[in-house]
Amino acid sequence: MSVEDTEFVVGSIAQTVVENEKYFGDLDAVAGDGDFGYSLARGFEKVLADWDSYDRADSSTFIRKVAMTLSSKIGGTSGPIWGTAFLRAAKAAEGRELDGTVVVGMLRAAVEGIQQRGGAEMGDKTLIDAIVPATDALDEAIQSGATGPEGARTFAAAARKAAEDTAALQARRGRASYTGERSKGSPDPGAVAVAVIAEDLTTRWTQR
């Protein structure tokens, strides 16, 4: 992956988040405070607004600049979580040519950062429950020789299934955890966001 490829991926994420502000907010309103879509959209709107000013010396530098914007512009708990995810991904990419194996490493580094920041584990009904199995599926696909588009499709499919499976879980993190058993029955908005982002990226990549 070149810096241009990295720009494409980050740009797709930003567009998807902004376009799905209401949808993500509605999902969050079921058991949370409903501000997830709004907060995330404001952060990625700022990323798009500052797009031309970001240093593009390499992919790691570019992602790091995006991380700084997200950390400072996304409100609530989402800012530190998403900012940390991008920052850890940037660190994992530092000084390396991006390929499938490096991307898997970036995703695993992002997960580790999210867990350290928010304390979430698998089964707590958070975006972790979508990212981890999707990354595992991507890793397996890459090891089997999958191309970039094939890997993206594999990641998206695994993320969608995992996100839907969170409906059966009881939330143990965030405001939704206060609702106890009532948090069951609807999927985690963060996990769904991961799936939607991955699906949109796959579609855009195919059309690119």
- Mean of the pLDDT values across residues 54-82? 89
Fold type of domain 3-207 = 1.25.40
Q: Which has more pLDDT, 98 or 181?
A: 98
| Separation of alpha carbons 199 and 203, rounded Å | 6
Q: Please check whether residue 74 is in contact with residue 40, taking contact to mean a CB–CB distance below 8 angstroms.
A: yes
| Separation of alpha carbons 36 and 181, rounded Å | 21
- Mean of the pLDDT values across residues 37-56? 94
194-to-1, 50, 53, 94, 188 alpha-carbon distances in Å: 21, 23, 26, 24, 10
HEC assignment per residue over 87-134? HHHHHHHCCCCCCHHHHHHHHHHHHHHHHHHHCCCCCCCCCHHHHHHH
pLDDT tens, position by position, 14-40: 999 999 999 999 988 887 777 888 999
Token pair, residue 26, equals 């509605």
Domain extents in the chain: 3-207
pTM of the predicted protein model: 0.91
- Radius of gyration over alpha carbons of the chain, in Å? 16
- Mean of the pLDDT values across residues 80-90? 94
Q: Which of 3-12, 53-62, 126-135, 173-182 has the lowest mean pLDDT?
A: 173-182
| Separation of alpha carbons 54 and 65, rounded Å | 6
Residue 177 confidence class, pLDDT cut points 50, 70, 90:
low
- Mean of the pLDDT values across residues 182-186? 70
- Mean of the pLDDT values across residues 63-83? 87
Residue 118 confidence class, pLDDT cut points 50, 70, 90:
confident
With a pLDDT cut of 70, the percent of the chain lying above it is: 93
The angle subtended at Cα 50 by Cα 47 and Cα 53, nearest 5°, is 130
On the CB side of 9, CA atoms within 13 Å amount to 17
Q: Is 44's pLDDT higher than 70?
A: yes
